[in-house]
Amino acid sequence: MERGERILEAAGELLVAWGYRRVTIDEIARRAGVGKGTVYLHWKTKDALFLAVVLRSKLRSHHAQLARMRAEPLDVLPSRLMSGAYQDFLKDPVLRALYHDDTDVLGRFTDIAKKELAELSAYSDEVVRRYLEVLRAHGLVRTDMTVEQQQYALLATASGFFLSEALLHDRAPQSAAERSRILARTVRGALETSAAGPGPDDGPATARTREAAAAAAAQVIPLYERLAELSEREMGRQLRQ
């Protein structure tokens, strides 16, 4: 693992374990096995380093989404896309802390991240809107709501499941796979058309569904590629110039 990656890994582990306020550059350097000056060779400030940590986690999820869609075009469907994002979220403690707005972990860093990453967040919202427009054009999601209403429904549903990991942990099914299936079924029932075909647990998709999903994926994948590219660019901007 290269020095920069070791530093990011150490910073992420300490952020979740100790919280933003308590973590120092000295501790990060010690855990990464480098000198304090080496950390500052890569990032000007502690804030810049932690922004890179956040972007790294988000970028991993973007790349995972892209890999799933490239391997299986049916993963472009909202139910499968959100199920995959949910599983990425469960695997990444930094994403979980961010999503739950855990003040013990993040402190004032939440406000810093929102301000610094506002432009990227706005583009991410635009990607979701354009994604839904593509699926509507291919008959894979319903058209009895506006795109804006569908975007709200999709994000609100996913947000509910993500937040439930902290708020309803004592009532949720023990298996993460089962919780993921419930999310997929909920999103499918709310947004997808019969033309989208059965869910992954309901039998094979029809040739028509696969054809529509492949055509939609060809348009959606570039949107997510661009989002990943902008995330990488933002990570680069946080590096010491």
CATH of domain 55-101+117-238: 1.10.357
Find the mean pLDDT for residues 221-225: 97
β-pair partners for 192: 141
Find the mean pLDDT for residues 179-183: 93
pLDDT single digits (tens) 1-44 = 588 899 999 999 998 888 888 899 999 999 999 999 999 999 98
Confidence band of 136 (pLDDT split at 50, 70, 90): very high
Rounded to whole angstroms, the Cα distance separating 63 from 228 reads 7
Confidence band of 241 (pLDDT split at 50, 70, 90): very low
Judge whether residue 88 has pLDDT over 90.
yes
Q: How many of the other CB atoms lie within 10 Å of CB of 226?
A: 13
pLDDT single digits (tens) 57-74 = 999 999 999 999 999 999
The DSSP-derived string for 19-39 is -TTT--HHHHHHHHTS-HHHH
pLDDT of 134: 98
Rounded to whole angstroms, the Cα distance separating 235 from 229 reads 10
- Percent pLDDT > 90 in the chain is 60
Average pLDDT along the chain: 88
Judge whether residue 145 has pLDDT over 80.
yes
Least confident of 77-91, 98-112, 119-133, 168-182: 98-112
